[in-house]
A and B are shown apart, each in its own frame.
Chain A
Amino acid sequence: MISNEAAVVILKKKQATSLRSGKMSRLWSDIKRNRVSYLFLAPFLLLFSFFTIMPIVISVFLSFTYYNILQPAKFIGLSNYRLLFVDDDIFLQAVGITLKFAFITGPVGYVMAFLLAWLISQIPIKYRFFYTLCFYTPSITSAVAMSVVWVYIFAGDRKGLLNYHATKLGIIDEPYLFLQNINSIVPVIIIVSLWMSMGVGFLAFLAGLQNVPKDLYEAGSIDGVKYRWQELWYITIPSVKPQLLFGAVLQVVVSLTVFDVSVQLVGLPSPLYAGHTILVHLYDYAFIRFEMGYASAIAIVLFCMMMGLNRLIFNILGRD
């Protein structure tokens, strides 16, 4: 026979385990109940884990090693990170440059893409197609064709478009090297980036704006909405919140990963590292200096920066 105290202890233990197994079993039955959902998710998650998550994990591991791609990786602990923050002046310069870009091209590009999408959605349907094509063209044409046009505009040659007209008008008397003078490199890259910022976000805005039910507008005009901007602020924007969120996240990613524009226009490395964004720095270390471990560390730092900005965006625009 068990004594009273022992019985109490045994009973208490039983309650505790059944509570724990209650939670677990509730979770498990939750999962089983929703197994259809998981089935839907399965193909995506499987491929995603193998081809994206695993490489990310490997990269994280690589960031704690010295890896020159040709020889096996050697573990060196936090050394990469220490060097990155303490000793690497160029990295700090790159962070400054990237943030400068991001703070201008991010919001401005975002608002531009949305405004253009909204303006186009105000036009009768049959003309919309032409304008959408016009503004989406930068994403379709190859980077090479674009860089030719831009290099021509900003060329330091006397016959470069801007220099030519500026000399003609008497503003300057010898050509200004837009693409090599450190003071002008950042503005040039910002301008070209903005020009190229009608990407997926722009298309998503357009598509989302189509989806807003017309009854809302009719109801609005009955309720006294008179001007287009009122309609925009009170009706349209709330209805496309999900697309706004999508565009914002993408804009954060795009503006912090400026790479092609900088390399095509001012070269790698840029004069005095004036166009050296974080991603250019990463590329430099990974593929020119063959220090892949260090580059992985840079990627992780960049990733954390983007996650931070992302949190901010989710808080401002609301999660859902």
Chain B
Amino acid sequence: MTSTVRSKLRIDYSSLFLYVFLTAFGLLMLAPLVYMASTALKPVSELFLFPPRFFVVNPTLINFRDLLLVTGTSIVPFTRYVLNSLIITSGIVVGGVFISAMAAYPLAKHNMPFKKTIFDMVVAALMFSPLVLQIPQYMLISRTGLMNSYFAMILPYLAAPIGMFLMTQFLRQIPDALLEAARIDGASEWKVFRVIIMPMLKPAIATFALFSFIQAWNDPYPAMVYTTYEDMKSLPLAILTISGGAGVVARVGTFAAASFLMIIPTIIVFVVTQRMVLQTMAHSGLKE
């Protein structure tokens, strides 16, 4: 980025060190992912070895085949679980992004009474342990008759304090002059929001979308608590029921295969969102 006044030798050393350090550390961090992939390919004779083998010696697709078989015998077709998860997760991510962005805009850029109070209140809500909130939330949802609906699994997670907090902070980096110029030109607030704010928030949106996706995609609790009908359950819950639990030998390989498949959409979303983030913002949009 900026290596202007330095001798060529200096540059090489520091960059080299940087690369070596980052690569070594990075590969170490990748270990669990590699482990998951290789476990999904292990035959039964290698699944329970201790010390566990990182790289499978006799890879086999039998676990994936079993997974397909399992899904054939359940009451509800497996694709239903996938569909449920897709609907719920995309509802949470898309809805969450919009609602948080819409809330972040006035809190960062407008002057309104109670602004500070509202902001502090939302950030404070981050600090209340979700474990304790589970029961009151359940009571609310069951009393309002929302059980077993997609709404029950989407609505509670739409107003995420993290989303609003993240976007507010990003908006504070954007200079006000830009917005003033647009307003002088006669744009309504909604137009300013749509045309200026949303594109400038792209890195924040991408970051929050990724985070929100990972949470929503992997979370079995909404389905566990808010659904009683089999055809409304989500994918992570269904996958939990594949294995018999800790200490049970059956289907350990299938469970590993299913867990591995669950990661693949996450990685796809990661690729998509990180590309949005890495598009450098070359300039702040202002002409000096």
Interface residues of A (CB under 8 A from B): 27, 30-31, 34, 36-38, 40-41, 43-48, 50-56, 58-59, 62, 69, 119-123, 125, 128-142, 144-146, 148-149, 152, 155, 157, 159-161, 164, 195, 198-200, 203-204, 206-208, 210-211, 213-215, 217-218, 220-221, 225-226, 228, 231, 239-240, 242-243, 245-246, 249-250, 252-253, 257, 259, 279, 282-283, 286, 292, 295-296, 299, 302-303, 306-307, 310, 320
Contact = CB atoms under 8 A, between A and B. Distances in A.
17 contacts: A30-B112, A41-B102, A44-B164, A52-B125, A56-B125, A135-B25, A149-B32, A213-B281, A213-B283, A226-B6, A228-B14, A242-B172, A253-B127, A286-B132, A295-B132, A299-B129, A307-B124
B280 interface: yes
B270 A136 contact: yes
Interface of B: 1-2, 4-6, 14, 18-19, 22-23, 25-27, 29-33, 35-36, 39, 50-52, 99-100, 102-103, 105-107, 110-113, 118, 121-129, 131-133, 135-137, 139-140, 155-156, 158-159, 161-162, 164-166, 168-170, 172-173, 189-190, 193, 203-204, 206-207, 210-211, 214, 218, 259, 262-263, 266-267, 270-271, 274-275, 277-278, 280-284
B283 A152 contact: no
B107 A51 contact: no
Contact of A138 (B29, B106, B110, B164): B29
A310 B127 contact: yes
A148 B29 contact: no
Given A152-B51, A159-B51, A246-B165, A129 B4 contact: no
Contacts of A144: 259
A142 B275 CA distance: 23
Nearest to A297: B132
B124 to A, nearest CB: 6
A65 B159 CA distance: 29
Given A31-B113, A52-B159, A132-B274, A200 B207 contact: yes
B261 to A, nearest CB: 12
Contacts of A282: 129, 131-132
Nearest to A120: B22
A40 B140 contact: no
Nearest to B284: A213
Contacts of B283: 213-215
Nearest to B100: A44
Contact of A145 (B32, B133, B166): B32
Contact of A137 (B29, B113, B193, B278): B29
Nearest to A55: B136
Contacts of A240: 173
A207 B204 contact: yes
B23 to A, nearest CB: 8
Contact of B128 (A59, A122, A204): A59
Contacts of A307: 124, 127
A40 B165 CA distance: 15
Provide the main secondary structure of the chain B interface: helix
Contacts of A242: 168-170, 172-173
B26 A134 contact: yes
Given A41-B102, A44-B159, A148-B52, 18 more contacts: A40-B106, A43-B159, A48-B159, A51-B155, A51-B159, A56-B133, A122-B1, A123-B19, A129-B271, A133-B267, A139-B214, A200-B162, A200-B207, A203-B207, A203-B210, A204-B207, A208-B173, A210-B281
Of all A-B residue pairs in the complex, the 6 with the closest CB atoms, nearest first, are: A134-B26, A44-B103, A37-B106, A207-B203, A242-B169, A55-B136
Contacts of B27: 134
A53 B6 CA distance: 56
Contacts of B106: 34, 36-38, 40-41
A211 B31 CA distance: 31
A226 B57 CA distance: 52
Contact of B32 (A138, A161, A252, A320): A138
Nearest to B211: A200
Contacts of B118: 41, 45
B264 to A, nearest CB: 11
Given A30-B112, A210-B203, A51 B32 contact: no
A52 B140 CA distance: 11
A51 B210 contact: no
B26 A131 contact: yes
Contacts of B140: 50-51, 54-55
Nearest to B188: A36
